[in-house]
Amino acid sequence: MKHLHHHPANKARVSHWTRQQVSQIEADDAIDFPHFDPQQVKVLMPGYDVWDNWYALDENNQIADVQGFRVLVALAAPSDSFDETNLYYFYSRDGLHYQAGGKVFTTPLESGIQEWSGSTLLRNDGALQTFYTVVKESGDYSGRSHRSRQGSQGMPPAGMSAQGSQAAGPQGSSQSQMPGQGQMGAVQNDQRLATAIQDVVIAGNRLSLAEPRYHAILAVPDGQYYQTMTQASERETLFPTSSTTGSTQSNNFCFRDPHFFKDPSDGRSYLLFEANTGNAICPEGSVRREYIGSASFEPDYVPTPDELKANGCIGIAELTNEGYTAARFLPPLLTSNLVTDEIERVNMLKIKDDYYLFCIGRVSKMAMSCEALERSTFMLGFRSRSLFGPYTPLNRHGVVLRQQSFSSDMMNSSDTQSVYSYLLQPDLTVLTYAQYSTDADGNLQKNRSAGPTLSLHIKGNRSYVGEVIYNILPA
């Protein structure tokens, strides 16, 4: 097995979004999502809810020109059946009006799966390569099943390994606890990363995707750097819920949202993704000062059971062949131990000489919060001089965008201003989806669709929101 002894990741320390940083978040117009006109948000595909969405990017990390078209990929499902979540694609000549092209994959990789978020690359050979999440209903040791956006378990495929995992141990001292064998755990769902390569077919003003010439699972959690479903399930038994905060108190297992990034400094290619920490680095249940903050902050901190379960992280794997079909795990870039299990929709931009790392979250998934995040969704941003850190939070606390809902249940909100799934683009605009949209007759309805786009301004370690535009409309 090849190890990355001279890889730059070996020179970096894992960064953390800390409890102290969360405590510093304040209400601020500079981070608040502006009020928008829901009448300007249109139904993108009648009869379907459309949510997480992203543009195809090229190998220079820019929005791609696909033979004169801009391509948008999104999660969508019939409005009456969210169990049928698949990837759909849309295309536009003018970059404003989008025609629905259909499912990205007419035949799924496996039967009985859902397709969740990822990223799409315009390769130098002209094909589109999509990295995405394969989700399959699974069960715990009792054989029960559960439909929720939770976790996975499996053995790494050939070529996927944790760098130095056979000798790796927890960083520094910890109060980590390991579960016993054969314990009953929380119910989880299987999540794996997959990739597919498809040729683009142009006929007049129509763009279509050919059947994949390559389509396979790319990565599953290894248990060392990235937690498996079994580990998450067992730890749920070890640290049972105390239901002190949030709406999702069971272990919220995550292994999803792969984002392609080619480092302009050396040409190496990577996938960044959402995960939970494994046994080797910052494991679930460990308590360390670097997760908390300075020595003077919470000096006598004692974790709750929910906080012990919080071990979200931003993972990274290097793509190791020219076809981007093999990968090798590297240590996490950033963790959120003792804060939250879920920091999703990971994104990376290089602006001048700096690397900017972004992800999003929901307070309902957090083990701790603060007044400024009540009923909120948010986007976090971090800055570093190196891809591998250390990362400094923007605006001192990390929050670059926040939306506070009038509803306690943000994901089923009756608030017509409700948006989520923020994704920063290379042009510093933020894609969203909206809970409400307007049909062809002008009727406002609860139908998720591509939401308003927001500009974001970044200056060093500071950011502030700009103007809202409506630039993803039906053809």
Active site residues: 52, 344
d(CA 57, CA 118): 12
List the binding residues: 51, 117, 256-257, 311, 341-344, 362
List the binding residues for Ca(2+): 311, 341
Q: Can you give the three-state secondary structure of the chain, one letter per residue?
A: CCCCCCCHHHHCCCEECCHHHHHCCCCCCCCECCCCCHHHCECCCCCEEEEEEEEEEECCCCECCECCEEEEEEEEEECCCHHHCEEEEEEECCCCEEEEEEECCCCCCCCCEEEEEEEEEECCCCCEEEEEEEEECCECCCCCECCCCCCCCCCCCCCCCECCHHHCCCCCCCCCCCCCCCCCCCCCCEEEEEEEEECEEEECCEEEECCCCEEEEEECCCCCCECCHHHHHHHHHHCCCCCCCCCCCCCCCCCEEEEEEECCCCCCEEEEEEEEECCCCCCCCCCCHHHHCCCCCCCCCCCCHHHHHCCEEEEEEEECCCCCCCEEEEEEEEECCCCECCCEEEEEEEECCEEEEEEEEEHHHECCCCHHHCCEEEEEEEEECCCCCCCEECCCCCEEEEEECCCCCHHHCCCCCCEEEEEECCCCEEEEEECCEECCCCCEECCCEECCEEEEEEECCEEEEEEEECCCEEC
d(CA 16, CA 270): 20
